[in-house]
Homo-oligomer: A and B are copies of this chain.
Amino acid sequence: MELLKQKVIREGIVLGQGVLKVDSFLNHQMDPFLMREVGREFTRRFAGEAVTKVLTIESSGIAPGIMTALELEVPLIFARKQKSLTLTEDIYVEQVYSFTKQVSNDITVAKKFIAPGERVLIVDDFLANGEAALGLARIVEQAGASVAGIGIVIEKSFQPGASRLKEAGYRVESLVRIAALENGAVSFVEEA
């Protein structure tokens, strides 16, 4: 997705240890027009997948998720990273490890929002080790629903997440794929 790639080039900041900071348009400040284009692009790519619901995880997944849900004309669910006192009904819980924050979180989804047989599109802002996406996929499958695909805004292709998801049989569509973050520069995977 060229618009997104240009945004990464112009505004992304490479920190040490393979970290790309995109807080001017994706992770803290958000560009609503770019988010809408992200939603439209996921909708084009997953148009044939009969998606009934979009599932993401708080917080940075919500904006691309709601725009995708709007375009696909289905609800969005965002998984929470911990239990909320106002969610008292039955919930699915999966543990995921965040390498960025170096903590394990429980991610939770209320059972009533995923029905057996649903086709759930998972959307997230970043794909690195794949922990969050795999946790979300396990929740979908616990519900007796199926994963219609996994839409990622920025894939760090030098980390194992994309391979893990594909080996597990999921269709992964990443809008930008980063080959390396070295010497303060972003290099992209050459598209075929």
Q: Which residues on A are within 8 Å of B, measured CB to CB?
A: 15, 19, 21, 23-24, 27-33, 35-36, 58-59, 62-63, 66-67, 69-70, 73-78, 80, 84-88, 100-102, 109-110, 113
User: What's the Cα separation between A49 and B49 when bound, in Å?
Assistant: 43
Cβ–Cβ contact A88 & B15, under 8 A = yes
C-alpha gap A87/B60 in the complex (Å): 14
Complex Cα spacing A30 to B77, Å: 6
Q: Which of B23, B29, B59, B75 contacts A30 (CB 8 A)?
A: B75
Residues of B within 8 A of A87 (CB): 21, 23, 28
Q: What residues of chain B lie closer than 8 Å to A15, measured between beta carbons?
A: 86, 88
Count copies of this chain in the complex: 2
Report yes or no: B86 in contact with A21, Cβ–Cβ below 8 A: yes
On whether the beta carbons of A101 and B76 are closer than 8 Å, the reply is: no
Query: Given the complex of chains A and B, what is the CA–CA distance between A113 and B24 in angstroms?
Result: 8
- A128, chain B: closest CB distance, angstroms: 12
A75 touches B31 (CB 8 A): yes
Taking A28-B77, A58-B59, A59-B78 as known contacts, 11 extra A-B pairs with beta carbons closer than 8 A to each other, sorted by chain A number, are A15-B88, A29-B75, A29-B110, A30-B75, A30-B78, A62-B62, A62-B63, A63-B63, A63-B76, A66-B67, A86-B100
Most chain B CB within a 10 A radius of its CB, from A67, A80, A86, A100 = A86
6 tightest A-B CB contacts, nearest first: A32-B70, A58-B59, A32-B69, A62-B62, A63-B66, A30-B76
Give Cα A73 to B80, complex, Å: 29
- Contact A27 B62, beta carbon cutoff 8 Å: no
B84 touches A101 (CB 8 A): yes
Q: How far is the CB of A154 from chain B (nearest CB, A)?
A: 13
Give Cα A175 to B1, complex, Å. 36
Bound: A17/B36 CA distance, A:
38
